[in-house]
Chains A and B, each alone.
Chain A
Amino acid sequence: MMKTGAQILWECLEQQGVTTVFGYPGGAILPAYDALKYSNIHHVLVRHEQGAAHMADGYARASGRVGVAIATSGPGATNLVTGIATAMLDSSPILCITGQVGSKLIGSDAFQETDITGVTLPVTKHNYLVTHASEVAQTISEAFYVARSGRPGPVLVDITKDAQQTTCEFDGKPVAPRLPGYRPDMAPTAEEYKQALELIHTSKRPVILAGHGIILSGAMDEVRAFAEKTNIPVGLTLLGLGAFPASHPLSLGMMGMHGEAWLNTTIQEADLLLAFGMRFDDRVTGNLKTYAPNAKKIHIEIDRAEINKNVKVDVALVGDLKAVLRELLPNVKPQERHEWLAYVDRLKGDAAVRDIQNLPDNGHLYAAHVINDLWRETHDRDTVIVTDVGQHQMWEAQYYKHEKPRSLITSGGLGTMGFALPAAIGVKAARPEADVWVVVGDGGFQMTMCELATMVQENLKVNIAIINNGYLGMIRQWQEFFYDRNYEASPILSPNFVKLADAFGIRALAVTQRSDVVPTVEMAHKHKGPVLIDFQVEQEDSVYPMVAAGAALHEMIRRPNPIVETATDA
Chain B
Amino acid sequence: MLNTFVVYVENKPGVLTRVASLFRRRAFNIDSLTVGRTEKPEVSRMTIVVDADRDQALRVEANLYKLVNVLLVENITGKPSICRDLAIIKVSAAHNERSPILEIINVFRARVVDFAVDSLTIEITGGEEKVDRLLDVLRPYGILEMVRTGIVGMRRGTKSEESEAVAAAVVGASSGNGAATVAADDNVSYSV
Selected from A177, A189, A308, the residue in CB contact (under 8 A) with B179 is A177
A183 to B178, CA, bound (A): 11
Q: Is the CB of A192 within 8 A of B21?
A: no
Q: Could you say which residues of chain B place their CB within 8 Å of the CB of A189? A: 186, 189
Task: Give the number of chain A interface residues (Cβ < 8 Å).
Answer: 36
Q: Is the CB of B68 within 8 A of A146?
A: yes
Task: Say yes or no for A345: interface residue by CB 8 A criterion.
Answer: no
Q: Is the CB of A316 within 8 A of B178?
A: no
Q: Is the CB of A305 within 8 A of B66?
A: yes
Task: Say yes or no for A246: interface residue by CB 8 A criterion.
Answer: no
Chain B residue at minimal CB-CB distance from A191: B189
Interface of B is mostly: mixed
Task: Say yes or no for A335: interface residue by CB 8 A criterion.
Answer: no
Q: Is the CB of A181 within 8 A of B55?
A: no
A118 to B189, CA, bound (A): 34
Q: A307-B190, A313-B192 are in contact. Are A185 and B181 (CB under 8 A)?
A: yes
Task: Say yes or no for A312: interface residue by CB 8 A criterion.
Answer: yes
Taking the closest CB of chain B, its distance from the CB of A305, in whole angstroms, is: 4
A103 to B83, CA, bound (A): 41
Task: Say yes or no for A75: interface residue by CB 8 A criterion.
Answer: no
Task: Say yes or no for A126: interface residue by CB 8 A criterion.
Answer: yes
Q: Could you say which residues of chain B place their CB within 8 Å of the CB of A305? A: 59, 62-63, 65-66
Q: Could you say which residues of chain B place their CB within 8 Å of the CB of A145? A: 178-179
Q: Is the CB of B178 within 8 A of A314?
A: no
Chain A residue at minimal CB-CB distance from B25: A122
Task: Say yes or no for B71: interface residue by CB 8 A criterion.
Answer: yes
Q: Could you say which residues of chain A place their CB within 8 Å of the CB of B177? A: 176
Q: A176-B178, A308-B55 are in contact. Are A181 and B69 (CB under 8 A)?
A: yes
Q: Could you say which residues of chain A place their CB within 8 Å of the CB of B62? A: 304-305, 307
Q: Could you say which residues of chain A place their CB within 8 Å of the CB of B192? A: 308, 312-314
- Find residues 285-332 in chain A having any chain B CB closer than 8 Å to their own CB: 303-305, 307-309, 312-316, 318
Taking the closest CB of chain A, its distance from the CB of B119, in whole angstroms, is: 40
- Find residues 42-59 in chain B having any chain A CB closer than 8 Å to their own CB: 55, 58-59
Taking the closest CB of chain A, its distance from the CB of B24, in whole angstroms, is: 8
Q: Is the CB of B59 within 8 A of A309?
A: yes
Q: Is the CB of A180 within 8 A of B172?
A: yes
Most chain A CB within a 10 A radius of its CB, from B59, B67, B173, B178: B178
Q: Could you say which residues of chain A place their CB within 8 Å of the CB of B170? A: 180
Q: Is the CB of B68 within 8 A of A314?
A: no
Q: A176-B178, A181-B182, A308-B58 are in contact. Are A117 and B173 (CB under 8 A)?
A: no
Chain B residue at minimal CB-CB distance from A183: B181
Taking the closest CB of chain A, its distance from the CB of B166, in whole angstroms, is: 8
Q: Is the CB of B69 within 8 A of A195?
A: no
- Residues 6-39 of B, flagged 1 when their CB comes within 8 A of A and 0 if not, give 0011100110011001000100000000000000
Q: Is the CB of A179 within 8 A of B179?
A: yes
Q: Could you say which residues of chain A place their CB within 8 Å of the CB of B176? A: 176, 178
Q: Is the CB of A181 within 8 A of B190?
A: no
Q: Could you say which residues of chain B place their CB within 8 Å of the CB of A121? A: 17-18, 21
Most chain A CB within a 10 A radius of its CB, from B18, B68, B176, B180: B68
Q: A121-B21, A177-B179 are in contact. Are A304 and B173 (CB under 8 A)?
A: no
Most chain B CB within a 10 A radius of its CB, from A126, A180, A184, A191: A180
Chain A residue at minimal CB-CB distance from B20: A121
Q: Is the CB of B191 within 8 A of A192?
A: yes
Task: Say yes or no for A182: interface residue by CB 8 A criterion.
Answer: yes
Task: Say yes or no for B72: interface residue by CB 8 A criterion.
Answer: yes
Interface residues of A (CB under 8 A from B): 117-118, 121-122, 125-126, 129, 145-146, 149, 176-185, 189, 191-192, 195, 303-305, 307-309, 312-316, 318
The 6 A-B pairs of least Cβ separation, nearest first, read A176-B178, A180-B173, A305-B62, A180-B169, A181-B71, A316-B190
> Can you report 15 A-B residue pairs in the complex whose CB atoms are below 8 A from each other?
A121-B18, A121-B21, A129-B13, A146-B68, A179-B173, A180-B169, A189-B189, A192-B189, A304-B65, A305-B59, A305-B62, A307-B62, A313-B191, A313-B192, A316-B191
Q: Can you add 17 more A-B contacts, CB < 8 Å, to A121-B17, A179-B179, A180-B180?
A: A118-B17, A176-B176, A176-B178, A177-B179, A180-B10, A180-B172, A180-B173, A181-B9, A184-B179, A189-B186, A303-B66, A305-B66, A307-B62, A307-B190, A308-B58, A308-B59, A315-B191
Interface residues of B (CB under 8 A from A): 8-10, 13-14, 17-18, 21, 25, 55, 58-59, 62-63, 65-72, 169-170, 172-174, 176-182, 186, 189-192
